[in-house]
Chain A
Amino acid sequence: MICLGIEGTAHTAGVGIVDGEGKVLANIIKMIGGEVKGIHPREAANHHVKNLPGMIDKALEEAGIAPEDLDLIAFSQGPGLGPCLRTAATAARATALSIGIPIVGVNHCVAHLEIGRVVTECEDPVLLYASGGNTQIIAFAGGRYRVFGETLDIGIGNLLDKFGREMGFEFPSGPEIEKLAKKGNELLDLPYSVKGMDVAFSGVLTAALQLRKKGASIEELCFSIQENCFGMLVEVTERAMAHVEKEEVLLGGGVVQNRRLQEMVEIMSKERGAKMFVPPGRLCVDNGAMIAWTGVLMHRNGVHFNIEDTKVNQRFRTDDVDVVWRR
């Protein structure tokens, strides 16, 4: 079975091809970035419209297969920005109908977890999913992927990008913040907002910008934001692990490429005798391969979509997915 997956929930257009074992045959990723100061939904959708057709061709070429070799098309059905989702869904429908093969809609958050499971070979992890729009702690319980903790306001990546924009960094700002943080060492006082298993970041942004006005250096601010906010993330991840009694932690989302965050999760895992799993970078960020692989799992377990079922869902919840493949 060979599946082509199309990702388009936010700033990234992705086309990936995987086989029935989860081997990634192609994984083309194009992200808006550089000059832009964030994501404008319409402009991001335009970016996807412009790029997706060429990316599909390129993915097929990279995988060394013809369109007729495909058995299934999967696409990111949600959650995400409406215009972007609709663009990816349109590309998926057109491809599936023109070749005459089945189509399935995939939950983006679940896809992050499934690709991590197959490439890192962890069994039953707690996922720390930290990206621009999403920040969730997800684990399998009672036949579903349940959200045990999440951000109450903005995603961690969104905080980093907003701060970066104010400082004049490029989008996305995570890498620049990580670089500058290495030069900082004084911990400034920022709100540490953990409520049970949930976190909140908007107060951190306000406080950081105020400190900047009062003359705090950018390096100290980057350092303090990382220490403070990653500390919050690791704490709620540990709480969830204790709560659901799981010994594996999997990382996913663009922000987990940050070395300091990885280091902190690793220390936490060691302290509690657990194990950390990190997929390769191109499978942590939004990508088509993860959509394709989750599509394979669904299709194999009898999930069938008619074209009418392929309507996108901007607020597609992680726990709305019936995880038939893990029964």
Chain B
Amino acid sequence: MAVLRRGAEAELVEAKWLGREAIIKRRVPKGYRHPDLDSRIRSQRTKNESRLMLEVRNIGVDIPVIYDIDVYNAEITMERVFGPRIKDLLNALPDEEDRSVARKIGEITALLHSNDFVHGDLTTSNMLMRDDGVICMIDFSLGEKTDSVEKKGVDLHLLFEAFRSAHYMREELLDDVIDAYRKGNPDADEVIERVRAIEKRGRYT
């Protein structure tokens, strides 16, 4: 089983689940932390993340199908989505398709926020394009259920930043994202207002 990616907290391992292509997200033990504390945190976060994934699925956000949850070993086994990352896709597509992807991103974000979910790391690296054009959202490890305008603002700010840095050649796409977000979230103005305040603080990069 090959390790596909290693983050600060977890690693993604290639796997099979009942013959299907799967991925195991494993939160690795940290040697610096007291063992009891370490296993408690890893279990808790595994539970929270899988619960959140199932909840956002219920409101219509596409996520990898969860096959198995092993709270004790802090592992989530899920469908392996093969589509490209939106990050790599955006600058490569023709204009019109790009704009429709940008609108979809705005719609998904609005769907999450209007149902009081925040993703926590809302960048185009955490969005995959399925064959049928649906955007699949991954990595909910920093997400939570909350109605906090501040947290939604930070979410949106991260998304804007991703567009400004990774997709700087197509910054007008941001207007499509914002437009779709406004249509999908009745409280959009308040959140966008907050993004401006967050940007002034210049902290979350």
Contacts and interface: CB of A to CB of B under 8 A. Distances in A.
Decide whether A and B assemble into one complex: yes
Interface of A: 141-142, 146-148, 187, 192, 196, 227-228, 231, 234-235, 238-239, 241-243, 263-265, 267-268, 270-271, 317, 319
A256 to B, nearest CB: 14
Interface of A (DSSP majority class): helix
B203 A242 contact: no
B205 interface: yes
Interface string B110-134: 0000000000110000000000000
A267 B41 contact: no
Contacts of A264: 32-33
Nearest to B142: A196
A271 B8 contact: no
A242 B33 CA distance: 18
Given A235-B9, A235-B30, A267-B32, 9 more contacts: A141-B205, A148-B205, A227-B34, A231-B30, A241-B8, A243-B8, A265-B32, A268-B30, A319-B203
A187 B8 contact: no
A187 B30 contact: no
A51 B82 CA distance: 67
Interface string B161-187: 000000000000000000000000000
Contacts, number: 56
A231 B203 contact: no
B16 to A, nearest CB: 28
B73 to A, nearest CB: 18
A271 B32 CA distance: 9
B59 interface: no
A263 B32 CA distance: 8
B96 interface: no
Contact of B31 (A148, A192, A271): A271
A187 B37 contact: yes
A267 B30 CA distance: 9
Contacts of A147: 203
B32 A146 contact: no
- Top-10 shortest CB links A-B: A242-B8, A264-B32, A267-B32, A227-B34, A231-B33, A239-B8, A267-B31, A268-B32, A238-B8, A187-B36
A196 B7 CA distance: 13
A146 B37 contact: no
A25 B85 CA distance: 55
A231 B34 contact: yes
Given A141-B205, A147-B203, A196-B142, A239 B33 contact: no
Contacts of A187: 34, 36-37
B37 A227 contact: yes
A207 B7 CA distance: 31
Contacts of A271: 30-32
A284 to B, nearest CB: 19
B60 interface: no
A192 B32 contact: no
A280 to B, nearest CB: 23
6 contacts: A141-B205, A147-B203, A192-B37, A196-B120, A231-B34, A270-B31
Contact of A146 (B7, B34, B121, B205): B205
